[in-house]
Structure 1
Amino acid sequence: MIVVGLTGSIGMGKTTTARLFAEAGAAVQDADEVVQRLYAPGGAAVAPVSAAFPGVLGDDGGIDRKKLSAAVTTDRAALARLETIVHPLVAADRETFLAQAREEGRALAVLEVQLLFETGLDKAVDAVVVVSATPEVQRARVLTRPGMTEEKFQALLARQTPDAEKRARADYVIDTGRGIEAARDQVRDIIALLRTRGPA
């Protein structure tokens, strides 16, 4: 089974591109969805995160992501503390996902991970696909999100590997600024190339 790491900065179209890979038959895991599950009532991250960050527990017994975001967005030390709690839980979930994909006989598994390079996961996959768009397209997409401000956007960008560096480190780049059909064609081409290349 070929394992692909799919990444890109905020607003570049990772989720849409991941959906295109899924439509083409790949098993896809979204790290953000894994985190949402871990933060939900009864999730494995609830107790350790609420202990490390008092006041982030929601009324439903899960982690209130808005409160947690407020606690870590501009505090690098707090963010690092959060990552030491959450990243191992996400990694365990990822191993379960990959084992299941192998058991199902999938030829391709895609890990959609925003911080692929930052967490070193790029070294653990067979190929890296980076989704990219112009800064203007990215900014326009991000600022339409509920609760997003220019300040939050800039803080998020500051935490991420710059787009140009991601593209330079990628095996494949998908330009999502040219529309969905162009992106779908690029996904098909990449899958064909991966099949000829095989696992690393």
Structure 2
Amino acid sequence: MLRIGLTGGIGAGKSTAATRFGELGARVIDHDVLARRVVEPGSGALADIVGEFGDRIVTAGQLDRAALAAIVFTDDHARDKLNEIIHPYVFAAADAADRQARNDGVGVVVHDIPLLVETGRGGHFDMVVCVEAPVGVRLARLKSTRGMTREQALQRIGAQATDVDRALVCDVHLDGAGTTDALRAQVDWFWKEHFPS
């Protein structure tokens, strides 16, 4: 089983690449999905987060993501504390999904990890693929597709690793600055190069 770590800055096009990898036959393990799953009501992760940040980040028994984001994207220490709490839970869930893929006889597993560099996970994969796009392109996308203000978008971008940091761990670079079709075509090229039929 070949294990690929897929990463990229917010708004760069990583999700488009992940979707295409899945369409081509890879099993995609989305760490954002896992991060949402591990904080479901009654979970240990949610209890730990409430223990750190208080009831202000819970609404009707569920994690209030907007309230938590307002805290952690304006306070580096708070963000570090959140990551210390949630990452072990996400890693455990990802490892379980990885084992299941191996048991299922899956040939290629793609771990879609926004914070691959920040969490030091680059060395855990056979190959790391990065989707890249200039900050200006990413800002425009975050404003148009996610409704973020420029300040909110810059906070999210600033909270992640730099392009230089990502480049240091990446084996393959995909250009996410263009159209969705252009990025999908690059994933197709990558797939044909590494997994010829």
TM-score relative to the length of structure 1: 0.90
Q: Is the 8 A contact 2:58 2:64 kept in 1?
A: yes
User: 1: distance between equivalents of 2:35 and 2:104?
Assistant: 24
Note if 1:58 corresponds to 2:27: no
Q: Is the 8 A contact 1:21 1:187 kept in 2?
A: yes
User: 1: distance between equivalents of 2:152 and 2:81?
Assistant: 20
The residue number in structure 2 matching 1:133 is: 133
User: 1: distance between equivalents of 2:169 and 2:178?
Assistant: 22
The residue number in structure 1 matching 2:188 is: 188
Q: CA deviation at 1:168?
A: 4.7
Q: CA deviation at 1:165?
A: 3.8
4+ residue segments displaced more than 4 Å: none
User: 2: distance between equivalents of 1:27 and 1:146?
Assistant: 26
Q: Secondary structure at the match of 2:74?
A: coil
Aligned ranges for residues 22-41 of structure 1 at < 5 Å?
22-41=22-41
* Amino acid in the other structure paired with 2:125: V
Q: Between the two proteins, what is the percent identity of the paired residues?
A: 35
User: 1: distance between equivalents of 2:166 and 2:53?
Assistant: 31
| Corresponding pairs, count | 195
Aligned ranges for residues 17-96 of structure 1 at < 5 Å?
17-54=17-54, 55-59=56-60, 61-96=61-96
Q: CA deviation at 1:29?
A: 1.1
Q: CA deviation at 1:73?
A: 0.9
Q: Given the superposition, is the C-alpha separation of residues 107 and 65 from structure 1 closer, same or farther in structure 2, using an over 3 Å criterion?
A: same
User: 1: distance between equivalents of 2:96 and 2:76?
Assistant: 30
User: 1: distance between equivalents of 2:75 and 2:190?
Assistant: 38
- After TM superposition, the structure 1 stretch with the greater mean CA deviation from structure 2, 47-56 or 156-165, is 156-165
The residue number in structure 1 matching 2:4 is: 4
Q: Given the superposition, is the C-alpha separation of residues 107 and 88 from structure 1 closer, same or farther in structure 2, using an over 3 Å criterion?
A: same
Q: Secondary structure at the match of 1:169?
A: coil
Note if 1:110 corresponds to 2:110: yes
Q: Alignment RMSD, CA only?
A: 1.7
Q: Is the 8 A contact 2:117 2:165 kept in 1?
A: no
TM-score relative to the length of structure 2: 0.91
1:96-140 residue CA offsets vs partner (Å, 9 max, x unmatched):
110011111111101111111110111111111111123332111
* Amino acid in the other structure paired with 1:53: F
User: 1: distance between equivalents of 2:192 and 2:121?
Assistant: 23
Q: Is the 8 A contact 1:43 1:62 kept in 2?
A: no
Q: Is the 8 A contact 2:122 2:169 kept in 1?
A: no
